Structure 1
Amino acid sequence: MNKIVETTNFSYRYNEAPDMALKDINFDAQAGEFVAIIGANGAGKSTLCNALAGLIPNYFIGHTNGEIRIRGENISKLGVGELSQTVGLVFQNPFNQLSYTAETVSEELAFGLGNRGLVKEIMIEKINKVAEIVQITNLLNRNPLELSGGQVQRVALAAAIILEPQILILDECTTQLDPVGSQQIMKTVKMLNREGMTIIMVDHDMEKVADLANKVLVMHEGRLVLNDTPQKIFSNPKLTDYGVKAPDYYEITKDYSPHSVILTEEQAVKRLKEVLMNED
């Protein structure tokens, strides 16, 4: 795999803030990886997402040290528009994603495509394709400002992936959705990852993180304190010191499965069957 994201001693302080929001962040992501960022509220997760998407330092005013490279290029030398060719970001608040210039969802999805100069026929084709993927075909003629929070969240995801970024950053992108809707969105994200898209996801659902991610970053008070596989992260005894709990499946099974780290329902069922068979 090729290194597609690399941060080197990256620090950031918001303008007028007394303390650093990010402190000496060092990590990299390979093309096609699924990276999860976890941590307690205020740990710096959203700030890191904004930095990776180039909103820091291009949009948010503040003070930076170190660097972030996307595909080998320092993002401080790239404009947000240029960086958007490679990186897509879905905000925690989906209403921040809207352009507030479109009268329909179709026009909202066409906004970014129009900026790239695509002809109308190709735009329509891409809009219909992404609408089917994210299951918003029935919303295409609706006004974005008349949609529910969950519907806007789907539109926000569609607006990000319609530009076909190589890296998709999801900052708690299912907060407005019910469990079924969240599962559907994650199924879409998993499919995009299988097709080669690099995913960087912030989420508080540890079961979801354990199921999807192959690398987990743990943030605490602006620092990256752990960086490893889900198995090693969630079995680390220091994890609770950073305000994070392991998935329930790990907590339930760790006593009768001391030699393996079980994180998902599928793994737990398989191990339970093995235990019951051995008892027989």
Structure 2
Amino acid sequence: MAEEVIRVEDFSFKYRQTKKYALKHLDFAIKKGEFVCVIGQNGSGKSTLASALVGLVPQYFVGNLHGRILIEGHDTQHTSISELSTMIGLVFQNPFNQLSYTAGTVAEELAYGLCNHGVPREEMVERVDRIARIMRIDHIIDKNPLELSGGQVQRVALGSSLIMEPEIVVLDECTTQLDPMGSEEIFDIVKNLNADGMTVVMADHDMERVARCADCVIVLDRGEIVAQGSPNEVFSQPDLREHGVEPPDFLKIALALKEAGVKVDRLPVTEEPTIELVKEAIHS
């Protein structure tokens, strides 16, 4: 059985000078190597949860907090963000917020965190080269980060987290500003890292992608967990739309066919929305 790397225990948080809690009584655990997707409408608490997992809540974003979050057994309230960054990395929704704005080249931007941790130069060079190849940015390693396209900045932002060699990475809807091709390229990189054993927690708005790739789905609504389980379990719940979440398009097709009297009980929600799959389900 895989070990737990994240444990959230009765966690609630309210930002200073706000009346309502952004997160309310969250309880869940994530095992090593899992791919977990957090979904929910805007304002549901996804970004606050992402910040809490890496210690920015409450160490940077202060407020009222109850409960605790453990990352590999370390309480995020009592472990420095610097130490947490070697265990869990965060990629922001806006990649430009991830840049240090002190680096003249992509290589220097990638090495920024390593410098702060006193990593020896030889190891630093090796890590920069390796991450640049993984992120497919080795051809722009000498360019100024401010001269890059949005997709290239997103790769640099992800690389700046991965270069710290965390076992967990948190992605806060980090593909929303990319075109479909760029989004899939980033997602393919993340999926490959997960296949190699990295634990991934991803807030996402693409339900087809979530249904296809997640091991576990957590649905947030107004700061509370309203559904949790496998994609099949979550997307099969009839009240999902009431929480501001639309099911994948192919599930909508299946539901429409059911309403028309066509039997499609064998259509799994974790599959791609292909006509062939729908036909197979109809004739089974």
> Is 1:14 paired with 2:15?
yes
Q: Is the 8 A contact 2:90 2:172 kept in 1?
A: yes
Unaligned segments of structure 1, at least 5 residues: none
> Is 1:261 paired with 2:268?
yes
Aligned residues: 277
Q: Aligned to 2:77, what secondary structure does the other structure show?
A: helix
Superposed, which structure 2 residues align to 1:222-241 within 5 Å? Answer: 222-241=223-242
Distance 1:199 1:208 in 2: 14
Unaligned segments of structure 2, at least 5 residues: none
Q: Is the 8 A contact 2:91 2:174 kept in 1?
A: yes
Query: TM-score when scaled to structure 1?
Result: 0.94
- Percent identical across equivalent pairs? 47
Deviations 1:202-252 (A, max 9, x none): 010001111111100000011111111100100100100100011111121
Distance 1:198 1:263 in 2: 20
Q: Which residue of 1 aligns with 2:175?
A: 174
Q: Which residue of 2 aligns with 1:247?
A: 248
Query: Could you tell which deviates more after superposition, 56-65 or 147-156?
Result: 147-156
Please report how far the alpha carbon of residue 71 of structure 1 lies from its aligned counterpart in structure 2 after TM superposition.
1.3
Q: Which residue of 2 aligns with 1:77?
A: 78
Distance 1:82 1:262 in 2: 39
Query: TM-score when scaled to structure 2?
Result: 0.93
Q: Which residue of 1 aligns with 2:129?
A: 128
Q: Which residue of 2 aligns with 1:144?
A: 145
Distance 2:180 2:83 in 1: 35
Distance 2:15 2:172 in 1: 19
Deviations 1:111-140 (A, max 9, x none): 112223222222222212211211111221
Residue identity opposite 2:268 in structure 1 = V
Aligned-residue Cα RMSD (Å) equals: 1.6
Residue identity opposite 2:244 in structure 1 = G
Q: Aligned to 1:218, what secondary structure does the other structure show?
A: strand
Q: Is the 8 A contact 1:262 1:268 kept in 2?
A: no
Q: Which residue of 2 aligns with 1:112?
A: 113
Q: Is the 8 A contact 1:247 1:263 kept in 2?
A: no
Distance 2:161 2:72 in 1: 19
Deviations 1:53-86 (A, max 9, x none): 1000111111101111111221111010011110
Deviations 1:158-192 (A, max 9, x none): 11111111110000111221111111111111111
Q: Aligned to 1:77, what secondary structure does the other structure show?
A: coil
Q: Is the 8 A contact 2:211 2:269 kept in 1?
A: no
Distance 1:166 1:266 in 2: 32
Please report how far the alpha carbon of residue 268 of structure 1 lies from its aligned counterpart in structure 2 after TM superposition.
6.2
Please report how far the alpha carbon of residue 274 of structure 1 lies from its aligned counterpart in structure 2 after TM superposition.
6.0
Deviations 1:247-269 (A, max 9, x none): 11112134342244333327763
- Runs of at least 4 residues off by over 3 Å: 266-271, 273-276
Q: Which residue of 2 aligns with 1:62?
A: 63
Query: Could you tell which deviates more after superposition, 120-129 or 153-162?
Result: 120-129
Residue identity opposite 1:225 in structure 2 = V
Residue identity opposite 1:86 in structure 2 = M
Q: Aligned to 2:142, what secondary structure does the other structure show?
A: coil
Q: Is the 8 A contact 1:253 1:262 kept in 2?
A: no
Query: Could you tell which deviates more after superposition, 122-131 or 36-45?
Result: 122-131
Q: Which residue of 1 aligns with 2:50?
A: 49
Q: Which residue of 1 aligns with 2:206?
A: 205
Q: Is the 8 A contact 1:5 1:71 kept in 2?
A: yes
Q: Which residue of 2 aligns with 1:162?
A: 163
Superposed, which structure 2 residues align to 1:78-97 within 5 Å? Answer: 78-97=79-98
